Amino acid sequence: MSESLESMASSIFDNSVPKYWAAIGFLSLKPLASWIEDLNDRCNFLNSWYEKGTPIVFWISGFFFPQAFLTSTMQNCSRGQGIAIDKLSFEFVIKDDLKW
């Protein structure tokens, strides 16, 4: 068994994300089992988007690079409305309406 394969097997045994996977995958501090669940959720989200069309709600943290998604959203709006992209911005309203 090669050194890299042994390192991967050891990581899997320890429930940690192998270094090679972490280097090319999304950033996460989760243990391996939770990381794989998250990966499956991300794949399902993107697959659903592909099969059913653009969703009405986006899982922003599910994107590999959310900044690119937000920038492309502004570009689409800019082109569609004929507004300079420099004049557009996002506004976020934090609501605490939950009643526990």
Q: What is the pTM of this model?
A: 0.72
Residue 63 confidence (pLDDT): 86
Q: Which residue has the tokens 């969703």?
A: 55
Residue 100 confidence (pLDDT): 63
Best CA proximity match to 90, nearest among 72, 82, 80: 72
Positive or negative, the Cα torsion across 20, 36, 65, 69?
positive
* Residues 6-32 pLDDT 10s: 999 999 999 999 999 999 988 889 999
Q: By the 8 A CB rule, do 49 and 37 touch?
A: no
* Residues 24-70 pLDDT 10s: 988 889 999 999 999 999 999 999 999 999 998 888 888 888 899 99
Residue 65 to residue 87: CA distance in whole angstroms: 23
